[in-house]
């Protein structure tokens, strides 16, 4: 398999192994570079005669682009074993209104969240200056648990995640967006997620999961993993029933960011 496919598969397998992706929970997509496309076409062979299927979103900004994407209903647990039916490579047409399957997705179709993924790629392609290429959706249990007991506000979640583990602010100095519960795969969920992705690289879906982006599999997966670890520390502290005697101060968060040349989102600290 081409290295880029191996990287995608590894992210899916790791998501399952860490408990982020039970059953068919979660999905992922990667916006390919021209080099990825050339290597994959050479090594895997593309079906350039494949027919086009209309999208229910319009993504002119992504016209002609290629994506690796998980199949709807596929199990992250099985991606390594049944790669060609669990993931595939698709291309968007010139109008940004349809896709065709060039490889994989055998007897299947892209994730039910494909619309949300494509619209998110549009937003992050611009917001990141063409740097962000990965979208990863997961069901991390501690973060989901937090959405039952804390107000669904960006500032509340950002500060709790930043303060619960020192490394957290390093992966999301801009903070974290929070979206109320909405139907999975719906246009509303896609639209709300996109509005948050203009400012953030991680969006919490209340009572459902997390949606992250990043420049690489390591970047996106590491962001998700760190956020969930911080959430699990917070929930453990909360569950201990003990009074919180100290945590990481705003100034300490600023110092961590200063040391790494990052800019913390001061608006959220004030909020
Ligand atoms: P898919 O199997 O269609 O990707 O859906 C999984 C999911 O987590 C929806 O939110
Ligand atoms: Zn989900």
Mutation test residue for ligand 1: of 111, 186, 206, the one with most atoms within 8 Å of CB: 111
State CA 195 to chain mean position distance.
Answer: 14
Q: What is the pLDDT of residues 82-136, one digit of tens each?
A: 999 999 999 999 999 999 999 999 999 999 999 999 999 999 999 999 999 999 9
Domain count, the chain: 2
CA distances from 225 to 87, 192, 199, 217, 261 (A): 22, 23, 20, 12, 22
DSSP H helices, the chain, are: 3-17, 34-44, 83-86, 114-127, 141-149, 154-164, 168-171, 187-197, 217-240, 250-260, 266-270
Angle between helices 114-127 and 187-197 (to 10 degrees): 20
Q: Which of 120, 136, 152 is the last residue in one of the domains?
A: 136
What are 35-58's pLDDT values in tens digits? Answer: 999 999 999 999 999 999 999 999
pLDDT at 69 over 90: yes
Question: Same structural domain for residues 31 and 118?
Answer: yes
Q: What angle do CA 210, 80, 71 make, to 5 degrees?
A: 55
User: Is residue 21 located within the same domain as residue 119?
Assistant: yes
Check whether 62 has a pLDDT greater than 90: yes
The answer to whether 267 is a known catalytic residue is no
Q: What is the mean pLDDT of residues 179-207?
A: 98
Ligand 2 centre to CA of 25 (Å) is 5
Once rounded to an integer, what is the mean pLDDT over residues 240-260? Answer: 97
Q: Does residue 271 surpass a pLDDT of 90?
A: no
Residue 204 pLDDT > 90: yes
- Whether residue 97 is found in the same domain as residue 228: no
Max Cα–Cα distance, the chain, nearest Å? 64
* 148-166: pLDDT as tens digits: 999 999 999 999 999 999 9
CA of 26 relative to ligand 1 center, distance in Å: 5
Domain boundary among 136, 157, 184: 136
Ligand 1 pocket test, candidate residues 112, 118, 138, most atoms within 8 A of CB = 112
Q: How far is CA 82 from the centre of its chain?
A: 22
**What is each CA distance from 255 to 65, 87, 161, 170, 260, in whole angstroms?**
40, 42, 16, 11, 9
Average pLDDT over residues 16-24: 98
Is the pLDDT at 223 greater than 90? The verdict is yes
Radius of gyration of the chain from its Cα atoms, rounded to whole angstroms: 19
Pocket of ligand 1 (CB under 6 A): 24-27, 70, 72-73, 111-113, 137, 184
Strand partners, 135: 29, 213
Same domain flag for 36 and 109: yes
Asked whether residue 183 carries a pLDDT value surpassing 90, the answer given is: yes
Nearby residues of 34 by Cβ (< 8 Å), 6 or more positions away: none
Provide the domain limits for residue 34: 1-136
CB 110 within 8 A of CB 71: yes
Beta-ladder partners of 29: 69, 135
Q: What is the pLDDT of residues 116-129, one digit of tens each?
A: 999 999 999 999 99
Instruction: Examine the pLDDT at 208 and tell me if it is beyond 90.
Output: yes
Same structural domain, 144 and 270:
yes
Question: Directed axis angle between helix 3-17 and helix 34-44, to 10°?
Answer: 90
Q: Which atom of ligand 1 is nearest to the CA of 26?
A: 8
CATH number where 37 lies = 3.40.225.10
């Amino acid at each position: 398999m081409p290295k880029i496919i191996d990287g995608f598969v590894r992210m899916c397998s790791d998501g399952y192994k860490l408990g982020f992706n039970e059953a068919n929970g979660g999905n992922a997509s990667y916006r390919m570079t021209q080099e990825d496309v050339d290597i994959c076409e050479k090594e895997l062979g593309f079906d350039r005669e494949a027919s086009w299927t209309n999208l229910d979103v319009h993504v002119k900004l992504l016209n002609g682009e290629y994506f690796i994407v998980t199949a709807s209903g596929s199990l992250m647990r099985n991606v390594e074993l049944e790669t060609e039916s669990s993931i595939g490579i698709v291309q968007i047409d010139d109008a940004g209104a349809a896709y065709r399957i060039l490889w994989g997705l055998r007897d299947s179709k892209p994730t039910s969240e494909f619309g949300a993924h494509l619209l998110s790629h549009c937003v992050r392609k611009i917001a990141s200056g063409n740097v962000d290429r990965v979208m990863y959706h997961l069901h991390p249990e501690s973060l989901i648990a937090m959405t039952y007991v804390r107000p669904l506000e960006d500032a509340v979640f950002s500060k709790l995640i930043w303060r619960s583990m020192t490394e957290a602010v390093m992966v999301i100095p801009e903070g974290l967006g929070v979206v109320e519960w909405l139907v999975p795969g719906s246009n509303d969920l896609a639209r709300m997620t996109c509005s948050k992705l203009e400012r953030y690289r991680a969006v919490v879906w209340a009572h459902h999961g997390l949606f992250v982006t990043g420049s690489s599999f390591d970047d996106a997966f590491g962001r998700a993993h760190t956020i969930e670890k911080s959430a699990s520390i917070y929930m453990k502290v909360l569950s201990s029933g003990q009074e919180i005697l100290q945590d990481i101060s705003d100034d300490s968060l600023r110092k961590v960011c200063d040391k790494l040349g990052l800019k913390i989102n001061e608006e959220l600290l004030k909020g």
